[in-house]
Chains A and B, each alone.
Chain A
Amino acid sequence: EAQMMESGGGLVQPGGSLRLSCVAPGITFTSHWMHWVRQVPGKGLVWVSRINSDGSSAHYADSVKGRFTVSRDNARNTLYLQMDSLRVEDTALYYCTRARDGSRNAMDVWGQGTMVTVSS
Chain B
Amino acid sequence: QSVLTQPPSTSGTPGQSVIISCSGSSSNIGSNTVNWYQQVPGMAPKLLIYRNDQRPSGVPDRFSGSKSGASASLAISGLRSEDEADYYCAAWDDSLGGLFGGGTKLTVL
List residues of chain A with CB under 8 Å of any chain B CB.
3, 35, 37, 44-48, 50, 59-62, 95, 100, 103-108, 110-113
CB-CB under 8 A for A106 and B100, given A44-B2, A95-B44:
no
CB-CB under 8 A for A60 and B88, given A100-B50, A110-B46:
no
Are B44 and A111 in contact, CB atoms less than 8 angstroms apart?
yes
Please indicate the chain A residues that have their CB under 8 angstroms from the CB of B101 in the complex.
44
Please indicate the chain B residues that have their CB under 8 angstroms from the CB of A113 in the complex.
44
Within 8 A of A (CB), among B90-108: 90-92, 96-103
A105–B98 Cα distance when bound, in Å, is 8
Chain B residues bordering chain A, tally (CB within 8 A): 26
Nearest-neighbour CB distance to chain B for A20, whole angstroms, equals 15
List residues of chain B with CB under 8 Å of any chain A CB.
2, 32-33, 35, 37, 39, 44-47, 50-51, 56, 86, 88, 90-92, 96-103
In the assembled complex, 5 residue pairs joining A and B whose CB atoms fall closer than 8 Å, in A order, are: A44-B100, A46-B100, A50-B97, A111-B44, A112-B44
A100–B33 Cα distance when bound, in Å, is 14
Please indicate the chain A residues that have their CB under 8 angstroms from the CB of B47 in the complex.
100, 106-108
Partner of A105, one of B2, B39, B45, B90: B90
Are A45 and B92 in contact, CB atoms less than 8 angstroms apart?
no
